[in-house]
């Protein structure tokens, strides 16, 4: 019996990791104020600016997501009663977020991606750290992302306790560090990848999110699953 429970827990942990790796790029790699800050500050300080921005981001995000996971038991009672309605809202937001990614991707393919040049005075690591905190906490899209797109990750992690949350968050946050550091070192998202490659990446992320939304819809309204997770 103990071995069976251990196997089920291991399977659940793997599922959390895979889902997190699927969903995280839609937020971490999409254009936004953190990306702009990493590029601008990176042009002045190099890759270390991206690390500082990512640390500031994490200092807000980690307690925010932990709070959501801790309160998920209460949220679950609401979900049991209004689950289908709330899932409809989640699906709608994911569809909207996918649409925005498609627009950004098409703009990049057409050569209209923004050039994030560095301007202004000298900066230091404290500036980058503060930028990461403020641009995360004041970003409504970020707050909504975890309440909608990231909510299934919170749910799965919450059912596995503190260890499940730690695994989920670790699977998520490394992408923020890697991407923001890469942007800071590269000096610009378009220069780093090329406009066409970045456009294709955003379109692929939009498609991945659409599949994730379709899976939620199938589970909620048809009792079936599209993804084996």
Tell me the domain boundaries of the chain: 39-220
Determine contact, residues 101/202, Cβ cutoff 8 Å.
yes
State pLDDT tens for residues 134-151: 888 877 778 878 888 888
Sequence-separated (6 or more) residues with CB below 8 Å from residue 114? 31, 190
What interhelical angle do 151-159 and 47-70 show, nearest 10?
Answer: 60
What does pTM read for this prediction? 0.68
Q: What would the mean pLDDT of 199-208 be, rounded to a whole number?
A: 78
* pLDDT tens-place string over residues 100-127: 778 878 887 887 654 444 444 455 888 8
Radius of gyration of the chain (CA): 18
The answer to which of 17-26, 73-82, 125-134 has the lowest mean pLDDT is: 73-82
User: Across residues 74-102, what is the average pLDDT?
Assistant: 72
CA distance linking residue 11 with residue 37, whole number of Å:
38
Q: Does position 2 have pLDDT exceeding 50, yes or no?
A: no
- Pick the residue with more confidence: 103 or 97? 103
Confidence at residue 171, expressed as pLDDT on a 0 to 100 scale = 93
pLDDT at 132 over 70: yes
């Amino acid at each position: 019996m103990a071995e069976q429970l251990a196997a089920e827990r291991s399977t659940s942990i793997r599922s959390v990791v895979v889902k997190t790796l699927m969903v995280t790029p839609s937020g971490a790699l999409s254009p936004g104020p953190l990306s702009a800050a990493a590029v601008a500050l990176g042009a002045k300080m190099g890759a270390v600016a991206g690390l500082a921005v990512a640390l500031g981001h994490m200092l807000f995000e980690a307690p925010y997501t932990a709070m959501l996971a801790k309160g998920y038991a209460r949220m679950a009672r609401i979900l049991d009663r209004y689950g289908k309605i709330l899932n409809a809202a989640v699906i709608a937001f994911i569809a909207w977020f996918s649409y925005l990614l498609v627009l950004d991707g098409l703009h990049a393919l057409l050569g209209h991606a923004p050039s994030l040049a560095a301007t202004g005075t000298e900066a230091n690591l404290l500036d980058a750290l503060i930028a990461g905190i403020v641009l995360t906490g004041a970003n409504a899209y970020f707050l909504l992302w975890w309440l909608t797109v990231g909510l299934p990750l919170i749910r799965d992690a919450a059912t596995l306790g503190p260890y499940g949350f730690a695994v989920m968050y670790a699977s998520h946050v490394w992408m923020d560090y890697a991407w923001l550091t890469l942007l800071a070192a590269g000096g610009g998202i378009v220069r780093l990848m090329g406009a066409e490659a970045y456009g294709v990446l955003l379109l692929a992320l939009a498609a991945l999110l659409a599949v994730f939304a379709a899976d939620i819809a199938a589970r909620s309204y048809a009792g079936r699953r599209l993804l084996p997770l």
